[in-house]
Amino acid sequence: MEREFLFLKPNTVRRGLVGEVISRLERRGIKIIAMKMINATKEQAERLYKEHEGKPFYNELIEFVLSGPVVVMVLEGPRVVEMVRHIIGNTDPLKASPGSIRGEFGMSVTKNIVHASDSHENAEKEMKIFFSEDEILNYKLDVQHDL
Ligand code: UDP
């Protein structure tokens, strides 16, 4: 089992799309094992986007993710990192396939609805910016058969 970190950006909350995003994950059989709505701190935003520090879009991106409440989540499932990256689509909503979350709801590269960690290592690192290990829950989904 693998874990993935997901961050619903402030415009997703302001546009009332939180349920839409969660519903797409649930329908795909992905399990939510932690979730909360927060105002991210500057320190958390800077840690999340550390690899982009100094790039031309960095300041705008940090300002944007601090512009309102966000929803942070930890997901679990087999190959969940690959699965979530596939469901959310390309970074640029214009290049994201129409059925993907960014392809349907993204407005620009910055306002692209969600952040999802791009590797198992980054997922484990990024979830620790927002969650303590005891906030990540252990339970079983009700299913008729193992998927
Ligand atoms: N980003 C941006 N302008 C750019 C490239 C990236 O605002 O020219 C933002 C964008 O919101 C993206 C984030 O930086 O979600 C992180 O970029 P990355 O390449 O890691 O894309 P992602 O993993 O989110 O698809």
Beta carbon of 115 within 6 Å of any ligand 1 atom: yes
Express each pLDDT in 9-33 by its tens digit: 999 999 999 999 999 999 999 999 9
Express each pLDDT in 35-84 by its tens digit: 999 999 999 999 999 999 999 999 999 999 999 999 999 999 999 999 99
Give yes or no for a contact between 69 and 131, defined as CB atoms under 8 angstroms apart: no
- Choose which CATH entry (3.30.70.141, 3.30.1510.10, 3.30.420.40, 3.30.70.20) describes domain 2-135: 3.30.70.141
Q: In this structure, which residue's CA is closest to atom 1 in ligand 1? A: 110
DSSP type of residue 30? P
At residue 146, does pLDDT exceed 80? no
Distance 31 CA to ligand 1 centre (A): 25
Beta carbon of 82 within 6 Å of any ligand 1 atom: no
Is 102 labelled a binding residue? yes
What ipTM did this prediction achieve? 0.95
Express each pLDDT in 84-140 by its tens digit: 999 999 999 999 999 999 999 999 999 999 999 999 999 999 999 999 999 999 999
At residue 147, does pLDDT exceed 80? no
What per-residue confidence (pLDDT) applies to 143?
73
Give yes or no for a contact between 77 and 86, defined as CB atoms under 8 angstroms apart: no
Instruction: Look up 115 and say whether it is catalytic.
Output: yes
Distance 82 CA to ligand 1 centre (A): 17
pLDDT band at 3 (very low <50, low <70, confident <90, very high): very high
Helix, strand or coil, per DSSP, at residue 146: coil
Distance CA 61, CA 122 (A): 19
For residue 139, the surrounding DSSP H or E stretch is none
What per-residue confidence (pLDDT) applies to 142?
87
At residue 144, does pLDDT exceed 80? no
Distance 132 CA to ligand 1 centre (A): 25
What per-residue confidence (pLDDT) applies to 2?
97
Choosing from 110, 114, 118 the residue with most ligand 1 atoms within 8 A of its CB, the one to mutate for a pocket test is 110
Helix, strand or coil, per DSSP, at residue 129: helix
